[in-house]
Amino acid sequence: MKQVYFFGAGQADGNAGMKAELGGKGANLAEMTNIGLPVPAGFTISTAVCLEFLKSGVMPANLKLDIEKALEKTGTCMGANFADNENPLLVSVRSGARVSMPGMMDTVLNLGLNSVTVEALARKTQNPRFAYDSYRRFIQMFSNVVKGIESYHMEQILEEFKHKEGYQEDHELTTDNWKTVIEQYLSFYRKTVGSSFPEDPYEQLWAAIASVFESWNCSRAQKYREIHQIPNEWGTAVNICAMVFGNMGSSSGTGVCFTRDPSTGENIFYGEYLMNAQGEDVVAGIRTPKNLLLLEKEAPASYAELCHAREILENHYRDVQDIEFTIQEGKLYILQTRNAKRTVQAALRIAIDFVKEGKLSQNEALKRLNPADIDKLLHPTLDPNAPKRLVAKGLPASPGAVTGRVVFSAQDAELWSSRGEKVILVREETSPEDINGMYVSQGFLTARGGMTSHAAVVARQMGKCCVAGCSSLRIDSSQKRLFAGDLEISEGDWLTLDGASGDVLLGQVATTEVDLGEDFQTFLSWAKALTRMTVRANADTPKDAILSRKFGAVGIGLCRTEHMFFDENRLPYVRQMILSKTLEERNAALEHLLKFQTEDFVGIFSAMEGLPVTVRLLDPPLHEFLPHTDKEIVALASLISLSPEEITLRVQALQESNPMLGHRGCRLGISHPEIYEMQVKAIGQAALLCHQKGLKVYPEIMIPLVGTREELSWLKERLSKLAPDLPFGTMIEVPRAALTADEIAQCSDFFSFGTNDLTQTTYGFSRDDCSPFLKVYKQKQILEEDPFVTIDRNGVGKLLKMATELGRRSNSKLKIGICGEHGGDPRSVTFCYELGLDYVSCSPYRVPVAILASAQASLNS
């Protein structure tokens, strides 16, 4: 088995198609070498080696020999030799999973320096200050990555030295200053580790390789994989690359750039750089970088080469690229390229533009967006007319508008969030260790760092708002305070961030609905035209119905009538209907409710003119509507001929031990048929009123919780007399209904899978109580996914498949869809497409998600 893959001198052992073996970084380094771009020579140790090492704890027996051969070839390409005391080759040791995990694993730069080779580097470059600066960086990074020494210890040594000497910036230190700092670093290392810092470059290398492999299992990487659903069994490659230096003086520099703006998608060359710096200075926010466009004046030849590389890479990969580069004494090197992380807004614009430019077909463009990310397009922005108090302005690193309470650490973000609070994480700059707190925060605000800093990259990937590089803020994390001029803001105070402008606003600012724009509608039209499975919405109000149409829904798959009953003007009549002693009192209450329901349905049918609306008759148990406080009971007693004491006894009598499996759904309709009769009358009257207005409406009546053919036929026979021209169907939400779907289909016009209840009744889980142990189940890999989020194909999915096949075999005209929350989950939508369902139905904001997921399922079928 090949373990080490070389790249250099225009030839490489690998290519871009080998991400599983080489990781994304290694595969792209090989690919860039093959297409002639200036890449420093090096080699990649495969992911298979990582997995073997993590399993056994030892490196493969022949790995060292393979690495030594690859180091020799690398040195030949670069004109230097590893561990050579006169002409040393220095290398970087970097991780590289098959998908980008920015900042989650470890890196060591300048490896190969020691007390002898640092002098050789100084002589070779005739720049001793650069050599010793590189050495101190290596010591600090190696100590952190390999020995677990927190970076702030050595940073504190440096800061104390600078303060003592009266320096403000690192570049003020002389060569002798750096030598002194290095001595202090090495002394601290000896005291902390108990042994001297390793002088042997090979010892340094083996330790660094092992540490980078082990970082695959560090807590932040594990959390990142959990959030982004990256398999643990992939492992990481290790890339060992000849060092090139951006900190060799004014003709050297380093930067990160994107072939298009990753926030907006605009076709501009976008990025940041620093002269006389190394890569971590840019991405870690240690110094505030410059706009890439300024490089044209500062280093015109290098900028021209970089623009040429931009064009080559975007055309070659047919996607926007995120490029890392270094300029060493006027010579450009490309250190990395990868498909750029981008906001959903940018991804949408880029997909549309690539089709216009002929780079992609429409079908290819549809595959470029993750359906789950579409949801991030559909949320509010700041109300332009709302009062605002600007307290600071930073860089608009990731768009969106959020309000939250200020916290100053990732741990506090998790704590406040667990109490139900919305929080904004405020930091000098974020680091990979903050990943848990970032995940639960509404947005991030940093005082340092730029548009390619850790906070900015993670925010765009998570779809969260970020304002970065807000240098006017003074943050005192230890005291949990920040200062904007004379204004002091403490933990728990409210702030609002506008990621589109970079504004930091005091307090809570109102928001408005997002304007989706022409690109969104164009993209949605491509998706809708491609798929045979349509998408409806779960909507109970005219407002939700209108929103659903705006988002592309072609009907309502679930209109829950019980939500209408909880209105404060209607609830007294619902309670009167349930508790009345006499038929006259009950009918009086039903007459009031008939009027209300008719008005409801006229509004919804009108909003969905020309499209089907599936109305589910009353589903929950009656006790959910009953009064619970003495005040409510007394108020109800004034409306009906029952005393408060009698009402209390009736309420207690209606309580159930397990109401989800009790007197609800069709069981309620059979016990109290007058309730369903009132609802069907309201549906029929509303349809007639709409027809009289010249509107074409298509209501469908859905009977919930059916488990036997007899339940459905009894109700349908009675109710269809009140609405003879309307289709009647049922929800399949208990296992028996799925098992006898052929029988039930004989008296049904349609099925709609209620996958929430079907999952609950199949597993025997209470969805209201199972969250604590489902989390444990996922952690212990008893369940891969929460079955209430993604359909369980092996269990619940088999019931769906069986019911679909049995139902259609018995009734060839049977229409089948789902209306549980799974209808908005992309993987569940794919499964529904594979089953051949006619439609899925989901919440309005998930409709575009389901449309794209359905289109992608069609493309992949």
Annotated catalytic sites, by residue?
A: 454, 819
Helix, strand, coil abundance in the chain, percent, nearest 5: 50, 20, 35
> How many CB atoms within 10 Å of residue 798?
13
Q: Which two tokens stand for residue 715?
A: 């109700």
Measure the CA–CA gap between 832 and 842, rounded to whole angstroms. 13
Q: How far apart (Å, rounded) are the C-alpha atoms in residues 612 and 624?
A: 29
Burial (CB < 10 A; 0-12, 13-18, 19+), residue 652, is exposed
Which of 316, 348, 227, 385 minimizes the C-alpha distance to 34?
316
Residues 375, 825: Cα–Cα separation, whole Å:
11
Torsions phi, psi for 103 (to 5 deg) = 75, 0
107: amino acid identity, one letter? T
438: nearest Cα among 418, 420, 411, 419: 411
Would you say how long the chain is, in residues?
Answer: 861
| One-letter amino acid of 156 | Q
User: Residues 738, 754: contact at Cβ < 8 Å?
Assistant: no
- Exposed / middle / buried, residue 55 (Cβ in 10 Å: 0-12, 13-18, 19+): exposed
Beta strand pairing call for 465-468 and 473-476: unpaired
Nearest to 449 by CA among 423, 475, 410: 475
Residue 479 near residue 409 (C-beta atoms within 8 A) = no
Q: Are strands 839-842 and 534-538 parallel, antiparallel or unpaired?
A: parallel
As a whole number of angstroms, the distance between CA 106 and CA 77 comes to 26
Token pair, residue 597, equals 């329901």
The three state secondary structure string of 186-232 is HHHHHHHHCCCCCCCHHHHHHHHHHHHHHHHHCHHHHHHHHHHCCCH
Nearest CA among 46, 703, 104, 717 for reference residue 454: 104
Q: Which of 335, 253, 248, 262 is nearest to 290 (CA)?
A: 253
Closest-CA residue to 136 (of 172, 199, 168, 183): 183
Residue 263 Cα distances to 342, 347, 399, 457, 519, angstroms: 6, 9, 7, 10, 15
Q: Is 176 exposed, middle or buried (0-12, 13-18, 19+ CB in 10 A)?
A: exposed
Determine the residue type at 602.
V
* DSSP-derived 3-state class of residue 132: helix
The number of helix segments (H) and strand segments (E) in the chain equals: 35, 34
> Looking at 284-400, which runs of residues are DSSP E strands?
290-291, 321-328, 331-339, 381-382, 390-393, 395-398
Task: Return all residues near 558 (Cβ < 8 A) that are at least 6 apart.
Answer: 536, 538, 539, 614, 616, 702, 752, 819, 841
Pair 505, 388: CB distance under 8 Å: yes
* Cα gap 301→307, rounded to integer Å: 10
Place of tokens 């001198």: 9
- Distance between CA atoms of residues 309 and 229, nearest Å: 32
